Amino acid sequence: MFNSGFSEAIPRDSSASQKNDKILWPLQTRRRVINVTDDYDIFRVVLFYIYTDTIVFTSSISSSTVPGNVSSPADADHLYVIAHRLLLDSLCNKVQHYLYSTCTPENISARLLGGFAATYPEMGKAYDRYFLRNWEQVMMAPGLELYFRALEEDPAEYIRASIKLRSLIRKKLQPNITKYAVV
């Protein structure tokens, strides 16, 4: 983790910077250090985006050293967390679009049922849509089974993911349930 600080100039009280009705120049300032505990490379991408309104999502690891490039969905998850915390809605939307466009039947189970989608409901809804639209392919892909096998060591997470999966099954079967309901 990147744990550094940057300083921000804070003007002193105007009465303290004036002497005999003359402003002392340059204004005396004091510095405040703001600690940043985020991953340095991801935070640098956020700063690059703030100043240039540019971000590039790529799958090339070699391009990850270029400012403004995000080279993996895991990095994009972290980028989304920072953008969400800093209330950068336009960046959140771009990251959300990238994450959605990189969904596959193999990786959607881990994304949908993982903690990230549970923490950020707008991402969870996007993953829900992909999961339900690609139901047959997701059910045939090994990703769902592999995800639940990996969770067997964490009972609380296993239960949370199971509850989420059952709710999606009900949502998928909802039109058929009313068709077969006993009147």
**Most confident segment among 39-43, 70-74, 101-105:** 101-105
Provide Rg for the chain, Cα atoms: 24
Q: Helix crossing, 73-85 with 40-52: angle to 10°?
A: 60
What's residue 143's pLDDT? Answer: 93
Q: Are residues 45 and 11 in contact, defined by beta-carbon separation less than 8 angstroms?
A: no
What integer best gives the mean pLDDT of the chain? 81
Q: Are residues 127 and 103 in contact, defined by beta-carbon separation less than 8 angstroms?
A: yes
**Most confident segment among 16-20, 71-75, 125-129:** 125-129
Q: In which residue are the tokens 């990251």 written? A: 95
Q: pTM for the full model?
A: 0.71
What's residue 37's pLDDT? Answer: 84
CA-to-CA distance for 103 and 7, rounded, in angstroms?
39
In terms of phi and psi (left: phi > 0; alpha: psi -120 to 50; beta: otherwise), the region of 68 is: left
The pLDDT of 159-180, averaged and rounded, is 82
What's residue 38's pLDDT? Answer: 85
